[in-house]
Amino acid sequence: MHGARVVISTSIVALIFTFSCTGETQQNSILEELGDAPSKLWDSNEIGEQWQIISPNNSTTLGSFSSNDSVDVFALEISSTNWTMVGFWVSDNETVRISIQRLNQSTWTIVEFADGEQGELGLDPGVHAIRLERNGDFEGEIA
């Protein structure tokens, strides 16, 4: 006889957006996580293909944590020549924590970060990071 198994899953939706200037058009897009995102920042060489690069232009990113996964890191590319104010929000802030990390573009060290309580961070042109971290119980899958 096989035992019954119950999997409880919670949707995780991360919304990344920029504060636009008057007259600028913004397009909403929905992106899905490609495979399992790495759990750490890239090293000083370069961003490998395992890091999904996303744009902050009103995109909603859908992803999940497998039962043994607790952290996902994504690359966030700012292509504007000016600083860009990036806002962010996560759908279930009791089970998942989000932070945006402004990175030094030469050493990839974290210069500044903001979490879900602040909800926004100014970023200079270049590549920065989004970190999603599971809070609490690691037994079930979060999707």
What averages of pLDDT result for each successive group of 10 residues across the chain (143 residues)? 42 52 49 75 82 75 75 88 82 78 93 84 92 73 55
For residue 14, give the nearest of 74, 70, 62 by alpha carbon: 62
Position 4 scores a pLDDT of 44
User: Rounded to two decimals, what is the model's pTM?
Assistant: 0.73
For residue 9, the model assigns a pLDDT of: 38
Question: In 3D, which of 49, 50, 71, 52 has the Cα closest to residue 61?
Answer: 52
The full set of domain ranges for the chain reads 14-134
Beta-carbon count within 10 A of 9 CB: 11
Do 29 and 79 meet the contact criterion of CB atoms below 8 Å apart?
Answer: no
Residue type (1 letter), 39: S
Name the CATH code of domain 14-134 (choices 2.60.120, 1.20.272, 3.40.1000, 3.40.1350). 2.60.120
